[in-house]
Amino acid sequence: MKKTKDGIAPSDALVLFGVSGDLAHKKIFPALYAMTKQGVLKTPVVGVASSKWSLAQLREHAEDGIRKAGPIDDRPALDRLLSLLRYVAGDYKDPATFNALKKALDEARRPAHYLAIPPALFATVIQGLGAAGLVDQARVIVEKPFGRDLASARELNRIARSVFPEDSVFRIDHYLGKEAIMNILYFRFANSFLEPIWNRNYVARVQITLSEDFGVNRRGAFYESAGCLRDVIQNHLFQIVALLAMEPPAYQGFGAVHCEKAKVFQAMRPLQADDVVRGQYAGYRKEPGVAKDSDVETFCALRLFIDSWRWEGVPWYLRSGKYLAETAAEVLVELKPPPQMLFDDSAPISGRANYLRFRLSPNSAVALAARVKRAGKEFVGDQAELYLLDEQPGEEAPYARLLRNAMAGDGSLFTREDAIEAAWAVVDPVLKTHHRSHPYKPGSWGPKQADALIAPNGSWHNPILAKTTK
């Protein structure tokens, strides 16, 4: 058996549950194409779905997804990928589906089962794999959201762990595979100048915005069962918070990073209804699959505290929404102003004091803002940004990186069971008890109540619109 350099055997097949779905079409096939081009995907790829498709139809579906994601620049690689595809049609509740899968896997002994399916079916498929004896030396990659609250996440972890050992369970959050987000970890701990100021003595507040200028598209039914808090905040945004807030890992190795990230979630104060503003864009109730009287939030803003020695008293403001003014993701770590106002235009009069800005999307950048004197006899200045990083060519798509890692048995960019449960524990109270959603106009920055939430501590930083933003 060929092993990786760590002595871990790589998966020898990829099983894609939900192969006929949107995620597979838009993200996974393009990622598999990239992996084939890199020469890292050579194993069979077995698609599973309920659609009664022929293999030819699956190939068409795959090629269409790849074509829509970008130009086909390597036809032989695409043909190689298409020739790796196999297809099993069947109901996930039916043991016959898993028997057919076993047959399709043929010689493969160490499959990676990727569950790109509605969350309500995760447990069914994991149990089906267990009952069919498809788990020995196998791995399971589970899409988000992992659970829909603390109790269901615990239950799902229990089921997953009764079938697979923890190091064979890969809880995916594609944000962890993004260059700009991986750079937060690198930037914090590959430099020494940040550490002295990276705490409650110097940081006034932190804010993170993930905004999208489109609606729920064809995902109305999914959104009805999820909402913005479950869809992107409890996972994507919380992961960013953990990377920004964690203590330095005690040793070199990703086990230490997992431990420190889990501690951040454990130190987060559970949210209360008044910490959260929920919004819903006008027109959402007319989307297909959405209830006419739906209260589900398409926008969510919240105030969070991390009760740790480092972060005590520092508010973290998180915000995300559909149909906002821009599509962008950005972090702003705002530092406290100088203790005395020596100049007439010192902060806070001049606006924000020094800050560190991490642009995560659509491009990546890190910028450090400082005030610099304008030429002339007056002591007045302007805010300028030291611009540290820009788009890097050759960025790998997150799904390609994460699938490659999972198939190699490398769990460094995945989430551990304790971290998932601790993150759910923070949002659990407001899943049950919350204020009603406030309507907002598509193309705006959400309901005005979100501005009131941050008002005691300043104002939201809108990515792109800031004049210093690239």
| Residues identified as active-site | 236
Among 110, 170, 180, 231, binds ligand BG6 (CB under 6 A): 231
Smaller CB separation from ligand BG6, 220 or 315:
220
Give the C-alpha separation, 429 to 435, whole Å. Answer: 12
Q: How many residues bind ligand BG6 (CB under 6 A)?
A: 4
Token pair for 297? 């939030």
Closest of 276, 296, 299, 225 to residue 429, by C-alpha? 276
What's the min distance (Å) between Cβ of 324 and ligand BG6? 12
Q: 117-124 — which CB contacts under 8 Å span 24+ positions? A: 117/17, 117/18, 117/21, 117/92, 117/143, 118/18, 118/222, 119/143, 119/144, 119/145, 119/146, 119/147, 119/148, 119/225, 120/225, 121/92, 122/146, 122/156, 123/155, 123/156, 123/159, 124/92, 124/93
For residue 153, give the H/E element and its range: helix 150-163
61-98: burial string, b at 16+ Cβ within 10 Å, e else: bbbebbeebeeeeeeebbebbbebbbbbbbebeeeebb
What's the min distance (Å) between Cβ of 214 and ligand BG6? 8
Smaller CB separation from ligand BG6, 238 or 311:
238
Smaller CB separation from ligand BG6, 204 or 329:
329
Smaller CB separation from ligand BG6, 225 or 361:
361
Give the C-alpha separation, 363 to 26, whole Å. Answer: 20
What's the min distance (Å) between Cβ of 361 and ligand BG6? 6
Sign of CA dihedral 361, 365, 369, 373: negative
State which of positions 402-461 bind ligand BG6 (CB under 6 A). Answer: none
Query: How does DSSP assign 158-218, residue by residue?
Result: HHHHHHS-GGGEEE--GGGG-HHHHHHHHHHHS-SSSGGGSSTTTEEEEEEEEE-SS--TT
What's the min distance (Å) between Cβ of 46 and ligand BG6? 24
Smaller CB separation from ligand BG6, 347 or 400:
400
CA distance readout (Å), 362 to 250, 358, 390, 470: 33, 12, 11, 11
Query: Shortest Cβ contact with ligand BG6: which residue?
Result: 231
Smaller CB separation from ligand BG6, 198 or 284:
284
Per the CB < 8 A criterion, the answer to whether 388 and 365 are in contact is yes
What's the min distance (Å) between Cβ of 209 and ligand BG6? 12
418: left (phi over 0), alpha (psi -120 to 50) or beta: alpha
Give the C-alpha separation, 173 to 356, whole Å. Answer: 25
What's the min distance (Å) between Cβ of 231 and ligand BG6? 5
What's the min distance (Å) between Cβ of 465 and ligand BG6? 19
Among 100, 232, 241, 423, binds ligand BG6 (CB under 6 A): 232
What's the min distance (Å) between Cβ of 212 and ligand BG6? 6
What spatial distance separates the first Cα and last Cα of the chain, rounded to whole Å? 50
Per the CB < 8 A criterion, the answer to whether 118 and 91 are in contact is no
Smaller CB separation from ligand BG6, 85 or 244:
244
Query: How does DSSP assign 430-449, residue by residue?
Result: HHHS-PPPEEE-TTBSS-HH
Token pair for 316? 């973290």
State which of positions 21-80 bind ligand BG6 (CB under 6 A). Answer: none
Smaller CB separation from ligand BG6, 212 or 260:
212
Among 49, 177, 209, 212, binds ligand BG6 (CB under 6 A): 212
Smaller CB separation from ligand BG6, 68 or 269:
68
What's the min distance (Å) between Cβ of 283 and ligand BG6? 17
State which of positions 346-375 bind ligand BG6 (CB under 6 A). Answer: 361
Token pair for 313? 């008293």
**116 touches ligand BG6 (CB under 6 A):** no
Per the CB < 8 A criterion, the answer to whether 65 and 29 are in contact is yes
3-class DSSP state for residue 70?
A: coil
Token pair for 44? 């069979």
For residue 57, give the H/E element and its range: helix 55-69
User: Where do contacts with ligand BG6 occur on this chain (CB under 6 A)?
Assistant: 212, 231-232, 361
